[in-house]
Structure 1
Amino acid sequence: MSATSAFSAQASTGQPQSQKVTRVLTGITTTGTPHLGNYVGAIKPAIEASLDPNVESFYFLADLHALIKCQDPKRVQESRLEIAATWLALGLDTDNATFYRQSDIPEIPELTWMLSCVCAKGLMNRAHAYKAAVAENEEADNQDPDKGVTMGLFGYPVLMAADILMFNANKVPVGRDQIQHIEMARDMAGRFNHLYKGSFFSLPEAVVDEKVQVLNGLDGRKMSKSYNNTIPLFVAEKKLLKLVRKIKTNSLEPGEPKDPDTCTLFQIYSAFASAEDTQAMREEYAAGIGWGDAKNRVFEYLNEHLREPRERYLALLEDPAHIEAVLQKGAEKARAQAAPLMDRLRTAAGLGRFI
């Protein structure tokens, strides 16, 4: 997972068919500040799911994952607070959902170790992130192909598998770049079940949702911190206007028809606007709206949409004790599920108590 990226998992809770509840699990890496792309692609649909009483939701700050890429303690700490405040400001229902920090669940790193002990090294050799790091070293003619590669980067898929298998997810909606990690989690789950002769884990299946919207950034590429082209979700009003005005457009003059389907400005607008407002803007593109007017319209719409959650966000940042209390409550709920499973796994592996 990249900075503030997410993966999701759905699982049957094992209730009778007539009462089956969908379980959703989403992790957000705590190395960056949430931006508009994060909101549209992951946060908004996840929060909507958290409001559904027929969905059992688990959302966590993936702060152990953050240490793989970021050794700046201040940045990780700030990101954890910013991301927690963002989800709460946008209306995450923490009574219905379980919201926690990954590092508050000691069963997760313990499960990571157990899975590491059944996971073939050759499987990790084939992980995309590791292969990319090796390829980069080879292109740079480094004598050591593993230069700069930590065990955290190398074993990252095992930690992700533990995140998912801890709550026995079986349907995992992900981006295409994460499919391999789900296949690895299946391998580890199956291997553990085989070695210890039990049905401890269900085998997760990747589900790619092609409808998940990916926003473009200021330069027209995918909005990403790595491209330095993001619009932070709760940036101050004046800064928001400045960033919107920086969005790349073409050289068409006012009065010339413009294509909304190839325009980043229109894409961002339509991600937040109603169907009626989106259609109205589409008609204005056909009528030749000027880029300056279009950017002002996008700014005004975004600013109005984000004003109230921005105020809640800023208030939450001033009250970290409240955020901490919410996360601790969530950790208790998560551990109520994780601890019994770990007791069963320890016993299976010969690590159970004597009496």
Structure 2
Amino acid sequence: MPTDAPSTDSAAGSNAPVEPDFDTVVVSGIQPSGRLHFGNYFGAIRQHIDLHSRHEAYYFIVNYHAMTTVQDADALREHTLDVALDYLALGFDPEEAALFCQSDVPEVTELMWMLLNLIPTSRLEKAVAYKEKVNAGLTPNAGLFTYPVLQAADILAYQGTLVPVGADQKQNLEIARDCARWFNHTYTPEEPLFPVPEPHILDDVAVVPGIDGQKMSKSYGNTIGIFDEGKTLKKKVMNIVTDSTPLDEPKDPEACNVFALIKLFADAETQAEIADNYRAGGYGYGHAKKALLQLITENFADARARRKELAARPDYVHDVLKAGADRARATVEPVMAKARELAGLVSAR
């Protein structure tokens, strides 16, 4: 990498070329490392579906990323199709935006290699996910180490300009921004090929508590699945950790994991009513859990029915993913042809 290449967002410098306007293109991915849960829904999926009909958008199931932790082929296939089913059931319209598998656009990994040769290893050593593994005494694999660069390639290949992320993921987007600048600075300073993507920070995203009160995460095994139902759903809700305040005594709703979940599903009037019941006494956590169970069941009832219909039509789901991949590759191929030309990669094709 040239020593004078910009290394941080603030280092673009006053002498950097003026970046041309690019059309708004929304890009985001979701990892198929297990069944999707409330944390995924309120943290990302709900916003993805809101944005996908308002801008040109590419949403990909990041099965390459999942390989950093999932080495079971059958599980990866199952989780990938589950994600597709979940998105479609929750309202994703494949006529509005592309939904596809990351691995169906191999040009992205080619771009990743180009970017790897521009980014210093010291930049990746500072990545939060990598540092957390090292600090925990674990030995992260090279896939996790280079994860942010593949994420950058995912964004830049589609000339993405707007990336929905939680505040805790902003660092990876900063690496993508750096990668865009490094490539443009190195190969095409007069007419940048890649826009510098902007974060669409999801400030209103609540921290969704899991059954044990920690942040809901597959890593902690404390999740409630979006499409859990029946006895499975009831068992998980009834196992949510609460304190030992007796039934008759007043309780603080804001200190309760059950009420934190109720707030995600209930309208303002219902929230206020349940909160008053907490404070009045005579309202036990069992009552709150039953109210939550009903809210969850009602909230996802239509989506649950759609998912069952879609699960009976696997050919349709595969067709959606294929059409999305075709649309994605049609966008990526001319971008990568230009990237190869700028980098000096000779092609006989």
Letter in 2 for 1:237: G
After TM superposition, list the pairs within 5 Å mapping 1:39-50 onto structure 2: 39-50=41-52
| C-alpha deviation, 1:171, in angstroms | 4.0
1:230 and 2:223 aligned: yes
8 Å Cα contact 2:210-2:223 kept in structure 1: yes
8 Å Cα contact 1:343-1:352 kept in structure 2: no
Cα distance in 1 for residues equivalent to 2:27 and 2:162: 10
Question: Relative to structure 1, is the Cα distance of residues 104 and 213 closer, same or farther in structure 2, using a 3 angstrom cutoff?
Answer: same
After TM superposition, list the pairs within 5 Å mapping 1:298-309 onto structure 2: 298-309=292-303
Ranges in structure 2 where 5+ consecutive residues have no aligned partner = 1-19
Question: Which residue does 2:239 correspond to in 1?
Answer: 246
Question: Relative to structure 1, is the Cα distance of residues 75 and 13 closer, same or farther in structure 2, using a 3 angstrom cutoff?
Answer: farther
1:159 corresponds, among 141, 150, 161, to 150
Question: Which residue does 2:30 correspond to in 1?
Answer: 28
Residues 21-75 of structure 1: per-residue CA shift (max 9 Å, x gap): x43222111111001121112111221222x4x3222211000100111111111
Question: Which residue does 2:286 correspond to in 1?
Answer: 292
Question: Which residue does 1:278 correspond to in 2?
Answer: 271
SS at match of 1:214: coil
Cα distance in 1 for residues equivalent to 2:169 and 2:119: 18
Question: Which residue does 2:310 correspond to in 1?
Answer: 316
Question: Which residue does 1:150 correspond to in 2?
Answer: 141
Ranges in structure 1 where 5+ consecutive residues have no aligned partner = 1-11, 16-21, 138-146
8 Å Cα contact 1:81-1:317 kept in structure 2: no
Shifted more, 102-111 versus 302-311: the winner is 302-311
Cα distance in 1 for residues equivalent to 2:98 and 2:176: 22
Question: Which residue does 1:74 correspond to in 2?
Answer: 74
TM-score normalised per structure 1? 0.86
Cα distance in 1 for residues equivalent to 2:122 and 2:193: 24
Question: Which residue does 2:113 correspond to in 1?
Answer: 113
Question: Relative to structure 1, is the Cα distance of residues 301 and 128 closer, same or farther in structure 2, using a 3 angstrom cutoff?
Answer: closer
The runs of at least 4 aligned residues of structure 1 exceeding 4 Å deviation read: 352-355
Question: Which residue does 2:84 correspond to in 1?
Answer: 84
| C-alpha deviation, 1:354, in angstroms | 6.2
How many residues are treated as equivalent by the alignment? 327
Letter in 2 for 1:100: F
Question: Relative to structure 1, is the Cα distance of residues 259 and 48 closer, same or farther in structure 2, using a 3 angstrom cutoff?
Answer: same
Question: Which residue does 2:59 correspond to in 1?
Answer: 59
Residue identity over aligned pairs, in percent, reads 41
1:262 and 2:255 aligned: yes
8 Å Cα contact 2:22-2:195 kept in structure 1: no
8 Å Cα contact 2:25-2:161 kept in structure 1: no
| C-alpha deviation, 1:207, in angstroms | 5.0
Question: Which residue does 2:4 correspond to in 1?
Answer: none
| C-alpha deviation, 1:352, in angstroms | 5.0
| C-alpha deviation, 1:13, in angstroms | 7.8
8 Å Cα contact 1:27-1:61 kept in structure 2: yes
Residues 159-187 of structure 1: per-residue CA shift (max 9 Å, x gap): 01101111223343423332222222222
Question: Which residue does 1:333 correspond to in 2?
Answer: 327
1:14 and 2:22 aligned: yes
Question: Which residue does 1:177 correspond to in 2?
Answer: 168
Letter in 2 for 1:30: P
Cα distance in 2 for residues equivalent to 1:154 and 1:48: 32
Question: Relative to structure 1, is the Cα distance of residues 252 and 25 closer, same or farther in structure 2, using a 3 angstrom cutoff?
Answer: same
SS at match of 1:182: helix
SS at match of 2:67: helix
Residues 197-231 of structure 1: per-residue CA shift (max 9 Å, x gap): 24011223445433112210111111111111111
Supply the RMSD in Å over aligned alpha carbons: 2.0
Question: Which residue does 2:16 correspond to in 1?
Answer: none
8 Å Cα contact 1:170-1:203 kept in structure 2: yes
1:168 and 2:179 aligned: no
Cα distance in 2 for residues equivalent to 1:150 and 1:248: 34
Question: Which residue does 2:3 correspond to in 1?
Answer: none
Question: Relative to structure 1, is the Cα distance of residues 152 and 277 closer, same or farther in structure 2, using a 3 angstrom cutoff?
Answer: same
Cα distance in 2 for residues equivalent to 1:135 and 1:249: 31
Cα distance in 2 for residues equivalent to 1:94 and 1:213: 27
Residues 221-257 of structure 1: per-residue CA shift (max 9 Å, x gap): 1111111111111113111111111111122223322
8 Å Cα contact 1:215-1:268 kept in structure 2: yes
Question: Relative to structure 1, is the Cα distance of residues 347 and 121 closer, same or farther in structure 2, using a 3 angstrom cutoff?
Answer: same
TM-score normalised per structure 2? 0.87
